Amino acid sequence: MRVLVVGSGGREHALVWKLKQSPLVKKIYCAPGNAGIGSIAGCVNIDALDFAGLAAFAAENDIDLTVAGPEAPLAAGIADYFAERGLRLFGPVKEAAKLEASKVFAKRLMEKYGIPTAKSLVFTDPEEALSYLGRAETPLVVKADGLAAGKGVIVAETLAEAEAAVQRIMVNREFGDAGSRILIEEFLAGEEVTVLAFTDGKTIIPMVSSQDHKAAYDNDQGPNTGGMGAYSPAPVLTKDLWERVKTEILLPTVSGLRAEGIVYRGVLYAGLMITASGPKVLEYNVRFGDPECQVILPRLKSDLAEIMLAVIDGKLEKQEISWYDNHTACVVMASEGYPGAYETGKVISGLEAAEKMPGVYVFHAGTAEKDGYIATAGGRVLGVTAWDKTLQGALERAYRAVNAISFAGARFRSDIGQKALRRNDNNYDHV
Ligand code: AMP
Ligand code: GLY
């Protein structure tokens, strides 16, 4: 089988790395890829949103399976475009991708089908939003409706912060048209966890749990990013809670969509808050999380290519999926300034030494080759990932590798996984 992965981040590096291990996969390409992906796959310089270019490449190169990594092409309808041309693609159709592309669409679906989530109101007029804030209690959360690379959500502790958020999103349009509508939402207290699932629109198979670290700085301080690190499993998700996530959230989401005439095929991402009254949805994504993918795929024992084909063909019911019992951790090394403005082109050293360390995988997120060196080319630069028998061990391995790597302005969180370690309750009753 010949495979094309679309995208250029750490998630896509992990996807290519895992798909390559499948005995079914004979040749693998990535469009456009990055320097790390280029060392294990053929990178083709086609943009993830250039559907005509991607479909032409797939047709000319006898690609049997195209995998859409990021949300932007899915939200723009890459699955529909490929299906119309008889090309096989892993990822949901445009109507289904609205679950991520519009937080208002997702919220209405959850309300209609009784899926637990934060209470919220929708605003299209900044004056009305500001006038509502005058009567509301903080903390609360202001969210741009559309796609904003994980950055369009502002948790406001004070009224002034909430007003500034409305100003930035709706008036200054920091996230473009994504901010033409907003949600103002109840603040949910608790610990976050990510649950991903494979689904073909009928059968749902949840994956192992993971926890992202969205805030830029240690102790969850600073602005939201695309994700600064992750680990799996997340002990906050006990087996009981995992069952509840399946029956109270994942199943009604997929069956609710089906009742709306939408068949969801692909990976469904539920970003959850574990509150005192149980799990509630913070957001859906319509693809693997980044960096959650980097900690989940090294734990997947089964053949990812086989699972993806079963999803596309609506045959997931027959698929067995098994996992390694180990722990994984990923520390993202980012450019100075991220998630705000940052410089690129900084030479990265120490990659080879880090990659030789036991149990370490360095997934590239934003890198490019420059004069024979590997240099930074994005906000998130590397996802330094490791596995071990314990989380403590995985973290030690990951940070040892991080310390071996350097580039000018490199920044990373030094507290990845600490929430799990602090639990210290020896609760291994998790998934
Ligand atoms: P989202 O992209 O909607 O997942 O939001 C990004 C981050 O903002 C989440 O991972 C949470 O850390 C935080 N967040 C979003 N919604 C809420 C909420 N209702 N209550 C508390 N925190 C939230
Ligand atoms: N890590 C969060 C996301 O992929 O959206």
Sequence ranges of the domains in the chain: 2-91, 125-180, 191-421
- Ligand 1 site, residue 197, Cβ cutoff 6 A: no
**What is the spatial distance between Cα 409 and Cα 342, in angstroms, rounded to a whole number?**
9
Between the CA of 100 and the centroid of ligand 1 the distance, in Å, is 13
Tell me if 152 CB under 6 Å of ligand 2. no
Q: How far apart are CA 142 and CA 365, in angstroms?
A: 28
- Rg of the chain in Å (alpha carbons): 21
Q: How many other CB atoms sit within 10 Å of the CB of residue 407?
A: 21
The rounded Å distance from CA 285 to ligand 2 centre is 7
Q: Is 9 in the pocket of ligand 2 (CB under 6 A)?
A: no
Ligand 1 site, residue 141, Cβ cutoff 6 A = yes
Under CATH, which architecture does the 2-91 domain have?
Answer: 3-Layer(aba) Sandwich (3.40)
Mutate to test the pocket of ligand 2, among 292, 330, 380 (most ligand atoms within 8 A of CB): 292
Interval between CA 135 and ligand 2 midpoint (Å): 32
pLDDT at 148: 84
Q: What is the pLDDT of residue 179?
A: 85
Q: Is the CB of 69 under 6 A from ligand 1?
A: no
Instruction: Name the pTM for this structure.
Output: 0.95
pLDDT for residue 424: 62
What is d(CA 382, CA 331) in angstroms, rounded to the nearest whole number?
8
* pLDDT of amino acid 426: 56
Residue range 329-366, pLDDT digits in tens: 999 999 999 999 999 999 999 999 999 999 999 999 99
289 CA to middle of ligand 1, Å?
Answer: 15
What is the pLDDT, as a whole number, of residue 428?
Answer: 55
Q: Which ligand is nearest to the CA of 295?
A: 2
CATH of domain 191-421: 3.30.470.20
185 CB less than 6 Å from ligand 1?
yes
Q: Is 188 a pocket residue for ligand 1 (Cβ < 6 Å)? A: yes
- The answer to whether the CB of 100 is under 6 A from ligand 1 is no
Q: Which residue's CA is the nearest one to ligand 2's atom 3?
A: 289
CB 70 less than 6 A from any atom of ligand 2 = no
Cα of 226 from ligand 1 centre, angstroms: 12
**Index of the ligand 1 atom closest to the CA of residue 186:** 19
Q: Name the residue among 288, 378, 386 with its Cα closest to residue 337.
A: 378
In ligand 2, the atom with minimum distance to the C-alpha of 230 is 1
Which CATH number among 3.40.50.300, 3.20.20.70, 3.30.1490.20, 3.60.20.40 corresponds to the domain 125-180? 3.30.1490.20
- Spatial distance between the Cα atoms of 280 and 190, rounded to a whole number of angstroms: 10
For the sheet with 191-199, list strands across it: 204-206, 191-199, 266-275, 278-285
Predicted local distance difference test score (pLDDT) of residue 83? 97
Task: List the pLDDT tens digit at each of the 431 positions of the chain.
Answer: 999 999 999 999 999 999 999 999 999 999 999 999 999 999 999 999 999 999 999 999 999 999 999 999 999 999 999 999 999 999 999 999 999 999 999 999 999 999 999 999 999 999 889 999 989 899 999 999 999 876 789 999 999 999 999 999 988 899 888 888 999 999 999 999 999 999 999 999 999 999 999 999 999 999 889 999 999 999 999 999 999 999 999 999 999 999 999 999 999 999 999 999 999 999 999 999 999 999 999 999 999 999 999 999 999 999 999 999 999 999 999 999 999 999 999 999 999 999 999 999 999 999 999 889 999 999 999 999 999 999 999 999 999 999 999 999 999 999 999 999 998 665 555 56
Say if ligand 1 is within 6 A of residue 290 CB: no
Q: How far is the CA of 158 from the centre of ligand 1 (A)?
A: 16
Q: Which pLDDT tens digit goes with each residue over 253-277?
A: 999 999 999 999 999 999 999 999 9
Sign of the Cα pseudo-torsion (428, 281, 268, 183, in order): negative
What is the edge-to-edge ordering of all strands in the sheet holding 140-144?
Answer: 120-123, 182-186, 140-144, 153-156
The pLDDT value given to residue 423: 85
Q: Is the CB of 80 inside a 6 Å radius of any atom of ligand 1?
A: no
At what angle are helices 159-166 and 126-133 packed, to 10 degrees? 170
Taking the centre of ligand 1 as the mean of its atom positions, its distance from the CA of residue 282, in whole angstroms, is 5
